[in-house]
């Protein structure tokens, strides 16, 4: 039986930067290095990041930090 999926939530860049407290240029450098997910278009001309992908990334980075 299929369970209904929840609608995806997105964060825009200012919201992401408030959560991780790094500069925009540092964040984009980490995206280029593969440490953070790439943004997706959520409407014409507007990019955002999937909340679930970011949270998974944050958890992974935090677990690696304490190993």
3-58 tens-digit pLDDT? 555 568 999 999 999 998 999 999 999 999 999 999 999 999 999 999 999 999 98
Angle in degrees, CA 10, 13, 14, rounded to 5: 110
- pLDDT for 15: 95
């Amino acid at each position: 039986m299929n369970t209904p999926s929840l609608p995806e939530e997105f964060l825009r860049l200012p919201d992401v930067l408030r959560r991780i407290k790094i500069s925009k240029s540092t964040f984009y450098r980490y995206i280029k290095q593969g440490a953070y997910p790439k943004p997706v278009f959520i409407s014409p001309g507007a990019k955002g990041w999937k909340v679930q992908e970011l949270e998974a990334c944050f958890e992974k980075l935090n677990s690696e930090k304490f190993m």
